[in-house]
Copies of this chain bind each other. A is one copy, B any other.
């Protein structure tokens, strides 16, 4: 179902820091860059995903030379060698991450952290070969970005970076890029500054959109965060998961160690918030909800025990139970101590190919606190709201969860239904999400370079229910003419178990007569393996909660010849 090998190499690319580079290759590459020469990103299938890692406008050529220099192992930066950079240096002042975070503009100076070091890179901004992208790291740690654009981890770059060193990072902040805050939400983890919050308490945030198209796997620190309540502070050593079958009255309690004893199952799955792209729908008419852009979605590998294996030991098996739902409760609670809750249909829970897992790892690491540490149920193909984090209880039942989020939220309605007429009982809880796509680059309002009559467009596409993306059509004239994209990148899983998204890239022609300053509307629509496609506009799918916002993504850009 999943090409583990490809995945490990891609993940290893940014997690392991084993990038290989060479100075001579770099200069070759610079030449390519100056000539604006197009490279073949798809020729070597093994590395196509890795190429996407660096397909960002500026970062592309950095990673590209890295890729071409693969064989030059003598120039590799090994883990030991890397340790020399960003090490503690005595005699320098100490700064906390909070202090670093106050330096995000040219006026305030641009500070960044890397391992034990604090750097003032203000003077380097204009020199950065990757262009403006460097500003996403302003006031925070560069580590998640360098994981994504592994080319930075070479002696040449690290030496240059070290010349901007101004201090040491406070010991408590090293390696976390985060720290605790005070107040009722006092035990929240620190988040990376690149995550743009739509709400702080509870914390909800999405990464910059172009980043998403840079990597088939979204790094943990840049994965959108959608919390409904304060993040609980769970001690893995004393963690317990309660299980209860309401039909047989069987009960059980599992520790993290117990869960780890089950066969470890790894899947690649996209998780998306039902409200992703809500900010577009709300333009038709106001809706209630966080104003998400297009980045409330991410793709990760998740490892853990299969829910069907765990339920089997509780006596709940496919074909041998009258239960209709499996309910989940989180350890996050509201002021009245009511936990977050949700449920999924029994069919999904017990399907041996349904891949529902009690995940304790995200992208090969313990699940970060914002994503459910120590255990999150991952229900692939199903809306994020059912992928309950900080999982505390599983209840096998004839009934759906009676939690607010299952009963009176996360449901779709016809456009004529508004808050004065809505009856939440009349619609089913959203489970599998419909097909969706977005342009990640260029962004709205960007000026885009036209080369040989074409502009480069890239983004993501995904469908719930294990449906695989089979085609992505792009238009540069507001939807009058379309062409299928050239390249679709995904893991190798097949319908109906294709849980991960697809990244796409294409070059679309612009109309004749266009000139510098001409405005064009880019549109994208995806087709999944059930040949479902997206609705054209938001007006006819408008709903009061602003969920299921999967109309064509339309982006206005200006051309530059």
Contacts and interface: CB of A to CB of B under 8 A. Distances in A.
B531 A430 contact: yes
Contacts of A113: none
A208 interface: no
Given A345-B494, A416-B483, A427 B536 contact: no
Contact of A416 (B434, B479, B482): B482
Interface string A534-560: 111100110000001000000000000
A353 B299 CA distance: 28
A463 to B, nearest CB: 8
A532 B532 contact: yes
A484 interface: yes
B532 A434 contact: yes
Interface stretch (A165-173, A234-242, A464-472): A464-472
Contact of A414 (B416, B417, B473, B494): B473
Given A347-B496, A525-B540, A536-B536, A433 B482 contact: no
B531 A432 contact: yes
Nearest to A432: B530
A226 interface: no
Q: Looking at A345, A483, A534, A535, which has the most chain B CB atoms within 10 Å of its CB?
A: A535
A470 B530 contact: no
Nearest to A552: B540
B345 A495 contact: yes
Between A414, A471, A531, A548, the greatest number of chain B beta carbons within 10 A of the residue's beta carbon is seen for A531
A412 interface: yes
Given A347-B495, A496-B465, A497-B347, A414 B483 contact: yes
Interface in A414-442: 414-417, 426-428, 430-435
A527 interface: yes
Contacts of A479: 540
A484 B531 contact: no
A434 B531 contact: yes
Contacts of A435: 532
Given A347-B497, A540-B482, A465 B548 contact: no
Interface in A492-542: 494-497, 525, 527, 529-537, 540-541
A24 interface: no
Contacts of A540: 479, 482, 525, 536
A481 interface: yes
Interface centre among A413, A426, A482 (most CB of B within 10 A): A482
Interface string A315-335: 000000000000000000000
Interface of A: 345, 347-348, 351, 353, 412-417, 426-428, 430-435, 464-465, 467, 470-471, 473, 479, 481-484, 494-497, 525, 527, 529-537, 540-541, 548
Given A531-B548, A536-B540, 6 more contacts: A347-B494, A414-B471, A414-B473, A415-B481, A434-B530, A465-B465
The 8 nearest A-B residue pairs measured at CB: A434-B532, A432-B530, A414-B484, A532-B532, A536-B536, A434-B531, A414-B473, A415-B482
